[in-house]
Structure 1
Amino acid sequence: MSEPKPLKMLMMHGYHQSAASYRVKVGGIRKKIKKRCEYVWFDAPHAVPDSEDFGWWFSHPGKYDAIAYTDFDEGFDASIEYIAKVFKEQGPFDGILSFSQGACLAAILCCLKEKGDERFQGFDFAIIGAGYKSRQSQHTQYYEDVKVTIPTVHTIGETDGVIPKEMSHDLLSIFDPDQTKVATHDKGHLIPAAAEAKTILIDFLDEMLKRKSSK
């Protein structure tokens, strides 16, 4: 019996990162999941000033603070259109593997999928690493009257100094608990590649592979 085809994963990096740095950031877990996945890497569309990095939107002119409540979301709409183009040209995908600001945006994509947005139907599950609800006022609409029913794993760092764990736990409220797994860890702001959290991620991906092969 032939091995199932690997899961095609859309890789969404965090703020002040790039496709190249994200590849390094998730290197530990990529080694653990080995042949289970193939990856589509790309940079977010907005350059972070005075750096070689990128972001999905800004909460203040030229910068982003995940904790701040603001009415400023410069670049957000352009990022939605950009990702829609990626889906159209390179999709469909099996899943999304996202981190930090990219995970915040991936959660919004899950909401848009649940609400029937045709642009974002082309994925079946998501891994949300250090995710949270956006605190830009324009984005409240995405979390209203929705319960995400696709399978997800949320990794939450108990000692995360960038995204407080309370923000990640708050995000869980929009996800169906019967389809949601939570992998907590004590390693800070990263996607874990060790201990129980790693096992949860691997078991989840194995289940997604089984579902894919049974289609």
Structure 2
Amino acid sequence: MLSCSTFLLLFLSPSPLDLYLKQNKQTKPPGFVLKTEQTDQEPECLTNDAQGDDPRAWWFSSPQEDSFDAMEHSDSCKGLESSLETIAKAMTEQGPFHGILGFSQGAALVAIVCALKQQGDLRFQFDFAMLFAGFKSLSSCHSLYYEKPISVPTLLVFGETDRVIPAAMSEELVPHFVDPVVLRHQLGHFVPTGAAQKKVYIEFLEKFLKKEASVHG
């Protein structure tokens, strides 16, 4: 049985988190940040088929249109700094957090946050990261975040049949982490919650929960 673990979740809308919150009649605070505790209760399936939401992005590949395309090579990083400040503020005001979890562009942002932590940025204090359907940013402004190996303990999860973020894009992110746990599944662009995937999540998290327990005796 897992004990309490606190996460900082970074999703976009529509997202798996949006559907879950709608189903449970919850809302997200500004900045797309939610402090949550791990429990035995979870939605049966997390998908990102929600419709009718305004598009959002952690940064824009096309600043003129305020739009983002993960496959678009760009020299723009409009919005990144304000997003990083939002995360830093959440960590200061709502933390401490054991881990940080991101989905899709949120996962790409988590990779950048991990790189900044690796570089000694004291704004970002956490023990591990979980990236779902993540990718390496194609913005030339972000190339500096991929220059050195990232040793933050990380779980990378992506779908072989993902048609939003192709698996090949997620694979490109893997070599930038030191000894990451990599989970490839045969599903699409969502967070898998089957028994096999849960086993991997639990095994990954238990290492940090045991460490936390040893510290607090």
The equivalent residue for 1:166 is: 168
1:134 matched to 2:137? The reply is yes
State the shift of 1:19 in Å. 5.6
The equivalent residue for 2:33 is: none
Q: Distance in 2 between matches of 1:6 and 1:110?
A: 23
Q: Distance in 2 between matches of 1:88 and 1:15?
A: 24
The equivalent residue for 2:154 is: 152
Identity %: 41
Over residues 11-44 of structure 1, what are the superposed CA-to-partner deviations in whole Å (9 max), with x where a residue is unaligned? 110355496346469xxxxxxx63599xxxxxxx
1:114 matched to 2:118? The reply is yes
Q: Distance in 2 between matches of 1:24 and 1:209?
A: 29
1:154 match: secondary structure: strand
Please tell me the residue identity of whatever aligns with 1:63.
S
The equivalent residue for 2:12 is: 14
Q: Distance in 1 between matches of 2:154 and 2:103?
A: 13
Within 5 Å, give how 1:4-83 maps onto structure 2. Answer: 5-14=3-12, 16-17=14-15, 20-21=18-19, 23=21, 34-35=39-40, 51-60=53-62, 61-83=65-87
State the shift of 1:212 in Å. 1.3
| Between 191-200 and 131-140, the greater mean CA deviation after superposition | 191-200
TM-score by length of 2: 0.79
TM-score by length of 1: 0.80
When the two structures are aligned, how many residues end up with a matched partner?
190
The equivalent residue for 2:103 is: 99
| Between 9-18 and 186-195, the greater mean CA deviation after superposition | 9-18
Gaps of 5+ in 1: 26-32, 38-49
Over 3 Å counting, the alpha-carbon distance change for 1:24 and 1:197 in structure 2 is: farther
Determine which structure has the larger helix proportion and give its number.
1
Q: Distance in 2 between matches of 1:18 and 1:191?
A: 7
Over residues 115-159 of structure 1, what are the superposed CA-to-partner deviations in whole Å (9 max), with x where a residue is unaligned? 100111x10001100111111110111111x22212111101000
2:89 match: secondary structure: helix
Please tell me the residue identity of whatever aligns with 2:142.
H
1:119 match: secondary structure: coil
Q: Distance in 1 between matches of 2:10 and 2:106?
A: 5
Q: Distance in 1 between matches of 2:57 and 2:146?
A: 21
State the shift of 1:173 in Å. 1.1
Over 3 Å counting, the alpha-carbon distance change for 1:77 and 1:116 in structure 2 is: same
Over 3 Å counting, the alpha-carbon distance change for 1:63 and 1:199 in structure 2 is: same
Q: Distance in 2 between matches of 1:83 and 1:192?
A: 25
Gaps of 5+ in 2: 24-37, 43-51
Q: Please provide the CA RMSD for this pair.
A: 2.5
